[in-house]
Structure 1
Amino acid sequence: MRLAHGLIVLPDLVAGGPKSVDRILTPLTAIQAARALDIALIDISKTYGRQAARNVALFMEYPGLID
């Protein structure tokens, strides 16, 4: 899939493909879209733990709300 600015995303799994997808992110509202990274970091924290979310934020140099 090519995104609007040219980035190409190659997913490992797709809904309806031969392998089952274990979770799907819910679509974001316009207000949530502005906070998409915070929402993703919260999901990472819930799924993989607080330290994993901190590592992702650090890798991205993001001063997000992970505490």
Structure 2
Amino acid sequence: MDVQSAPKTLRTTEAARYIGIAPSTLAKLRMRGQGPAYSKAGKRLVVYRTTDIDDWLLKSRRISTSST
């Protein structure tokens, strides 16, 4: 896989903006294991692939507020 075909990665603040939520909400989802897949680069840097965010958003789709 070359660099051009590799999925784009976003830091937490960028990923939160991409989704439309606060970075703290994304961090809470990550801690609970309810958010999109992520990777750690070093001790503190968390990155999300846009493809993983898109997959998570698709899996989270609902058609009613009573859907679980």
Larger RCO (alpha carbons 8 Å, 6+ apart)? 2
Is TM-score (shorter-chain normalized) higher than 0.5?
A: no
More strand by share: 2
The TM-score with structure 1 as length reference comes to: 0.29
User: Considering only CA atoms, is the larger Rg found in Structure 1 or Structure 2?
Assistant: 1
The TM-score with structure 2 as length reference comes to: 0.29
